[in-house]
Structure 1
Amino acid sequence: MTSTGHPLTTPDDQPRAHLHEVVGAIEPWDDLERAHLKTATDWIASGAPLHRVRKPDVPAMHLVSYFAVLDDTRGLLLVAHRKAGLWLPAGGHVEPGEDPWAAVVRECREELGIEAVASPITGEHPLFLTVTRTRGQGTHADVSLWYLLHADAGTVISYDQGEFGAIRWLTDGQVLEEPAELLDPHMHRFTRKLQHARTEGHRG
């Protein structure tokens, strides 16, 4: 406490409060997302460290920004992530002090070589949140914010081959036809929420 009776603040307070607002604005798609949102909210409020400071698992839970790149005719861009051994959206860890949307902008440029353009469906706000235990060595929990970007598929002419073995464009229907074990474990749920968000956007 200070001499005026007000609690001391730390440099972490402002980004933590902002993240709390970002997570709080996400409407849960189902009971699982509702549970994940509560886990994330409790984690943020606990004062636990939010960002990865040492690869791959320090701290044991940390923040990730995914970005699902959408093309009006080709569909959704998925990448074959070498370490995860799964098809999933591009993305990466949010750096200490970095806004999650700023992480999207940075990672999009680094991994796909394009500028991040927010989808009109959501703007610069995440559509979805997941809390996922990773596989392999150094297992940890990723608290992942899923953002939507808009891009012309023809502009994605390169990608980070150190991170990804390949990239594919799939329609919503094609994603849902893919065996779940080949994808991020929440990919089918995300796709259904995306379909719903598109429908609501068209109605609006």
Structure 2
Amino acid sequence: MRLAQRITPACLFLALCFTTPLQAQLSRGEDPDTGLRHWQWQEAGIHFKLTQRLPDQTRAFFGARGFDREARERIALACVFQTEFRNTAGNDQPPVEYDLSEWRVHTDDGTQPLMVRETWKPIWQEHDDLPKAARIAFEWALLPTQQEYAADDYNWGMTAYGLAPGSEFDLEFSWQRGDQQYTRRIDAIECPPDIHPQPD
């Protein structure tokens, strides 16, 4: 599967790294096989990565778990990323904690929160015919809203940003280690486009 419809040699970027004065490292990359882009942040013993998920991938995933067409579309078109978070510090460091409800999405139209588990619950309450098993599968598929990570702990799941396919946004994200609070920002993240590439 290639995103050949929109990826050109001029916009290929692999392992482009930027180092801030705080010794944080942001890398932006692209999977050479799929064309899906990612944004990866490493700093102060954490590893945070966002990878695009095409809406078709999300449609297929939730379709296999009992979601009807309307419910699948609601998720697929909400700007979904596969998300990884790791505590890469040693045992001599306090655990890391985050709260996704505190993270913010910045666009030209303003600022909004992520669509976390608690955001989706009232939405699914309107779908009386959505099976309980499907609701449970959805909740487990999302990255937990709040999480604590001991040394070498990690987790992954989907995060949704509530924007149209192809939108661009800046993400303000935060985490805490002991008494130290970190707030950072990744600029120019791109929501996955709603395209339908065919296998090579």
TM-score, normalization: structure 1? 0.24
Which has more strand, going by share of residues? 2
Which has more helix, going by share of residues? 1
